[in-house]
């Protein structure tokens, strides 16, 4: 499949017809999604309408935008006016969004053709997409395996070659981890670079929207389109963001540190092997790399407990609005007019087990008498993690390491053991807690072992606000390594 960058260029020049491009993407979706189940709603009519709009703009001789005719899919926790918005949950089954999210507005304004909404772990809680109430998504590299999560539908849609770019959201790793497991690029912007308006809230101090793409250049292009201040989201910072597309893609002289904490013993040895080859590639490009001895990020090993306390606390509050009255269906299991009983029945019946577990944990962590010991304490450690990263960025431009401790695991392998699933976030949660921009780029396939032949991701993390530099480094890395390997379902169609 062509990159978004070249599709847009050819549609703009008149070489490609946006309606043809859209029909081809629809045909790929209809054929390939039978195997991967990346989509909850393909929403084909909307795609056709948007393609007609681009064609009409071109006929008038007006500028169709930077993403003219590019098919892009959104994770089903981002509002698209009039479209279903389930967040992967039964509690929002049939609910339709009353307005467009900020990111949908931005994409449409630049001529993108929104094609469907993708599967996710319920309310973005998970790392395998198995927590979706609508069934799991499968990894296009091996359909017995998970695509990662929670943006597993978006990652699988791109890795299967259905669309060149999809949007995901990340709270603790949900863009980068599925990108790594599916062999594509995934970028988590600095917290507050991109507006959360119209994103179903999970952990409001952590949630960020970002692109998953087959090519780093496309992740940069889509980032440029969706990043920006939004008066309706007070956590977006004001001012313009430097362009990630035009920033020089050059590794020459870049100081890249590899903290030993990222090479934890939990990381699979074959994953580490691919990552060390990737470090050599960075050096070939002129980067100066150095392993930073253990001790520079002493609080990092608290990341998982701190992340789960903060994220669940915020989730318990954010999800209080789902009561069966304001949004979505009401459970009919209790034949009663008692309002409280109806709330309880709806929440007990229509939230899945992982969501209920997190609401219980978060409610406990925020409750009187425990909030100081759990919630406030975790905020203090979160600050320490941020301070330790900030100190490292005095000496290094970027930090590198594996994105995920392991490759794509088998469906069912971790789903019965919440803690082993939480370990998936070992290497991604720290940058989320610190609000830093971080990208996962494909760095080859594991050569041996459990994950043989499956993709491995290299993570590059930068200081807050340096999104353009992180993406430029990803572009430079891909330029040296060459086009990333493609999944068997993707094949090598042009």
Q: Annotated active-site positions, please?
A: 75, 150, 174
Nearer to ligand GLN, 50 or 146 (CB): 146
Sign of CA dihedral 73, 238, 312, 97: negative
Pairing of β 71-75 and β 113-118: parallel
Q: How far is the CB of 168 from ligand GLN (least distance, A)?
A: 9
In this chain, which stretch among 64-72, 119-127, 154-162, 191-199 interacts with ligand GLN, using CB under 6 A?
Answer: 119-127
Structure tokens at 431: 């940058």
Nearer to ligand GLN, 174 or 245 (CB): 174
Give the CA distances from residue 473 to residues 212, 399, 479, in Å, rounded to whole numbers and listed in that order.
16, 11, 10
Q: Binding string to ligand GLN for residues 188 to 217, with x set by CB under 6 A, is what?
A: --------------x---------------
Pairing of β 208-213 and β 255-259: unpaired
Nearer to ligand GLN, 18 or 203 (CB): 203
CA 70 to chain centre: 19
122 binds ligand GLN, rule: CB under 6 A:
no
How many C-beta atoms lie closer than 10 Å to residue 446's C-beta? Answer: 22
Nearer to ligand GLN, 11 or 199 (CB): 199
126 binds ligand GLN, rule: CB under 6 A:
yes
Pairing of β 165-170 and β 208-213: antiparallel
125 binds ligand GLN, rule: CB under 6 A:
yes
Q: How far is the CB of 430 from ligand GLN (least distance, A)?
A: 12
Strand order in the sheet with 165-170: 39-41, 113-118, 71-75, 165-170, 208-213, 185-188, 438-445, 455-461, 398-402, 255-259, 288-292
Q: Binding string to ligand GLN for residues 172 to 191, with x set by CB under 6 A, is what?
A: xxx-----------------
433 binds ligand GLN, rule: CB under 6 A:
no
In this chain, which stretch among 122-130, 193-201, 384-392, 444-452 interacts with ligand GLN, using CB under 6 A?
Answer: 122-130
Longest dimension (CA), the chain: 70
Nearer to ligand GLN, 278 or 423 (CB): 423
Cβ-proximal residue to ligand GLN, closest one:
174
How many C-beta atoms lie closer than 10 Å to residue 45's C-beta? Answer: 8
Ranges within 398-427 binding ligand GLN (CB under 6 A) = 424-425
Contact at 8 Å (CB) between 362 and 352?
Answer: no
Structure tokens at 234: 């007070």
Q: How far is the CB of 47 from ligand GLN (least distance, A)?
A: 26
Q: How far is the CB of 422 from ligand GLN (least distance, A)?
A: 7
Nearer to ligand GLN, 186 or 465 (CB): 186
- What is the distance between the alpha carbons of residues 487 and 494, in angstroms, rounded to a whole number? 14
Ranges within 289-348 binding ligand GLN (CB under 6 A) = 311
Among 124, 199, 304, 399, which residue sits at the site for ligand GLN (rule: CB under 6 A)?
Answer: 124
Among 171, 346, 378, 487, which residue sits at the site for ligand GLN (rule: CB under 6 A)?
Answer: 171
Ranges within 136-165 binding ligand GLN (CB under 6 A) = 150
In this chain, which stretch among 100-108, 118-126, 330-338, 433-441 interacts with ligand GLN, using CB under 6 A?
Answer: 118-126
Contact at 8 Å (CB) between 148 and 137?
Answer: no
Give SS3 for 170: strand
Return all residues near 3 (Cβ < 8 A) that are at least 6 apart. Answer: 164, 214, 215, 217, 218
Cis ω before 134 (30° cut-off from 0) = no
Give SS3 for 384: helix
Among 7, 83, 115, 127, which residue sits at the site for ligand GLN (rule: CB under 6 A)?
Answer: 127
**Residues touching ligand GLN: how many (CB under 6 A)?**
14
Among 170, 247, 388, 478, which residue sits at the site for ligand GLN (rule: CB under 6 A)?
Answer: 170
Q: Name the site residues for ligand GLN (rule: CB under 6 A).
A: 124-127, 150, 170-174, 202, 311, 424-425
């Amino acid at each position: 499949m062509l990159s978004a960058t070249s599709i847009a260029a050819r549609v703009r020049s008149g070489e490609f017809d946006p309606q043809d491009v859209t029909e081809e993407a629809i045909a790929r979706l209809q054929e390939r999604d039978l195997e991967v189940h990346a989509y909850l709603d393909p929403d084909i009519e909307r795609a056709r309408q948007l393609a007609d709009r681009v064609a009409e703009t071109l006929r008038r001789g007006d500028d169709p935008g930077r993403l003219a005719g590019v098919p892009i899919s959104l994770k089903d926790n981002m509002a698209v006016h009039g479209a279903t918005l389930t967040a992967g949950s039964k509690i929002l089954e049939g609910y339709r969004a009353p307005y467009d999210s900020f990111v949908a507005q931005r994409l449409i304004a630049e001529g993108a053709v929104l094609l469907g909404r993708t599967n996710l772990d319920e309310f973005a809680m998970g790392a395998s997409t198995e927590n979706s109430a609508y069934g799991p998504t499968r990894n296009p590299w091996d359909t017995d395996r998970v695509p990662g999560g929670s943006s597993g539908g978006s990652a699988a849609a791109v890795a299967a070659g259905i669309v060149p770019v999809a949007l995901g959201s990340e709270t603790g790793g949900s863009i980068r981890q599925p990108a790594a497991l599916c062999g594509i690029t995934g970028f988590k912007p600095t917290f507050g670079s991109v507006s959360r308006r119209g994103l179903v809230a999970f952990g409001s101090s952590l949630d960020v929207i970002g692109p998953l793409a087959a090519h780093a250049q496309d992740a940069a292009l889509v980032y440029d389109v969706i990043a920006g201040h939004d008066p309706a989201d007070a956590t977006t910072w004001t001012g313009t963001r430097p362009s990630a597309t035009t920033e020089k893609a050059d590794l020459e002289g870049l100081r890249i540190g590899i903290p030993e904490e990222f090479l934890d013993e939990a990381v699979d040895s074959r994953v580490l092997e691919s990552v060390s080859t990737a470090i050599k590639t960075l050096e070939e490009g002129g980067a100066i790399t150095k392993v930073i001895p253990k001790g520079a990020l002493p609080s990092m090993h608290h990341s998982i407990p701190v992340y789960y306390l903060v994220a669940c606390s915020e989730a318990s509050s954010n999800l209080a609005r789902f009561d069966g009255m304001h949004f979505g269906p009401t459970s009919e299991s209790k034949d009663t007019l008692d309002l409280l009983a109806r709330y309880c029945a709806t929440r007990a019946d229509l939230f899945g087990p992982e969501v209920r577990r997190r609401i219980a944990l978060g409610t406990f962590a925020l409750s009187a008498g425990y909030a100081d010991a759990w919630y406030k304490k975790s905020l203090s450690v979160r600050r320490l993690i941020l301070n330790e990263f900030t100190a490292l960025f005095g000496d290094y431009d970027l930090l590198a390491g594996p994105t995920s401790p392991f490759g794509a695991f088998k469906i069912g392998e971790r789903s019965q053991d919440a803690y082993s699933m939480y370990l998936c976030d070992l290497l991604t949660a720290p940058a989320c807690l610190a609000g830093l921009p971080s990208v996962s780029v494909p760095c080859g396939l594991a050569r041996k072992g459990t994950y043989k032949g499956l993709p491995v991701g290299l993570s590059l993390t930068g200081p807050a606000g340096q999104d353009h530099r992180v993406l430029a480094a990803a572009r430079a890395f891909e330029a040296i390594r060459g086009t990333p390997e493609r999944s068997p379902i993707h094949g090598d169609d042009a």
